[in-house]
Chain A
Amino acid sequence: MTNWIDIAALDDVPQRGARMIKTASGCVAVFRTANDAVFALDNACPHKAGPLAEGIVHGTSVTCPLHNWVISLETGEAQGADEGRVATYPARVENGRILLDSDFFRTRAAA
């Protein structure tokens, strides 16, 4: 069973943007697309750990700010010729609030 916890208001994250949240085992980037879908991914690019939360969000992808790898927000997979993947976590929006699955903290602690 998923146990959703309230993280913040949707409007705290700009459309086509991201914010970072800190956890005991590193940072997670929370993305919001142009159409208000949210995604949570490790805030570290599979290439050289660039902070994905600082990237440019387009469609359901983000471009890493360091060397322009394009990462799918849905799968965490690097797009195109690049290879690599970052962890993704369940995230959703309800009544204008962003919710993450509390299990995600446990998974992260184990990772």
Chain B
Amino acid sequence: MMEVIVRGGTQEENESLRKLTEDTLKDSGLGKKQRKVIIAIDIGIPAFYMAVRFKSDVEPIILDNIATIREQSNKMKIQINQERYYDQVIEKLWSIYGKDMVEQSERNIVYLNKKDDDIKSIVIYDLTEEIRERTIDILWGILPEGFKVRHFKHFDDGFILVATDVPQMKEFYNTIGALEQEIRG
């Protein structure tokens, strides 16, 4: 169950923001994907710190999971077995090896014009990254609008965000460090 903690304001303000955060994340379908959310308010500066940790219960999908890969005369033959990933596989191979090195002979068969054993472990789709992007998008609706000076610190299964309407200060980074320790346990 998602845990949302808000601190730094009055009890009423904290509860109000906590409820807004919970309702907004649940309505967007991201409630079940979050392990913990901590919001720390420093209204004096003013600054909002938000620490989010996702539930990382889904492994990223690598090429080996969805394709049959064989060496064939100094090339790698990749036969994609799941139609929904055709576009993503090609896009990923282009981004890593360049368009010149990738040939699509049939709809589900792609040749890489070089030998590379690491190709099997290329990440094709990572749900965690999608959750990260969608959570950040939702956060813009939760955080006060005027706090447009923003700084992120990302880690594998979450991130810390500081939002403020003044130029960034050294104090922010100390608080970010403390929050990271708290949320990662």
The yes or no verdict on A and B being binding partners is: no
Interface on A for B, CB 8 Å cutoff? none
